């Protein structure tokens, strides 16, 4: 088992994170504290060619703070 996954489970954070994000699976990917989705969503965005643009928008938003 991946050590980071174990730490989430061991610390009891998985239930809290799922409740916080209202998202059922891990990993949970965030851009600027906003949930983008899980790993499957990121992979799909990469396949569709939208991931880079979304990451650039997030970076610009972060830099503007």
Residue 56: which CATH number? 3.40.30.10
What is the residue range of 17's domain?
Answer: 3-63
Per residue in 23-34, pLDDT (tens digit) is: 777 778 889 888
Task: Count CA within 13 A, CB hemisphere, residue 11.
Answer: 10
Overall domain count for the chain: 1
Per residue in 9-23, pLDDT (tens digit) is: 666 677 777 777 787
pLDDT surpassing 60 at residue 7: yes
Residues in CB range of 17: below 8 A, 6 or more apart: 8, 26, 28
Contact 4, 17 (CB under 8 A): no
Q: Which of 1-5, 21-25, 48-52 bottoms out in mean pLDDT, i.e. has the lowest?
A: 1-5
Q: How far is CA 64 from CA 24, 33, 34, 35, in A?
A: 31, 15, 16, 19
Beta bridge partners of 31: 34
What tokens were used for 14?
């998985």
């Amino acid at each position: 088992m991946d050590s980071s996954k174990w730490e989430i489970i061991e610390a009891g954070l998985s239930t809290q994170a799922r409740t916080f994000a209202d998202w059922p699976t891990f990993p949970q990917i965030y851009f600027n504290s906003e949930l983008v989705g899980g790993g499957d969503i990121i992979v799909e965005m990469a396949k569709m060619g939208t991931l880079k643009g979304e990451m650039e928008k997030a970076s610009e938003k972060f830099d503007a703070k």
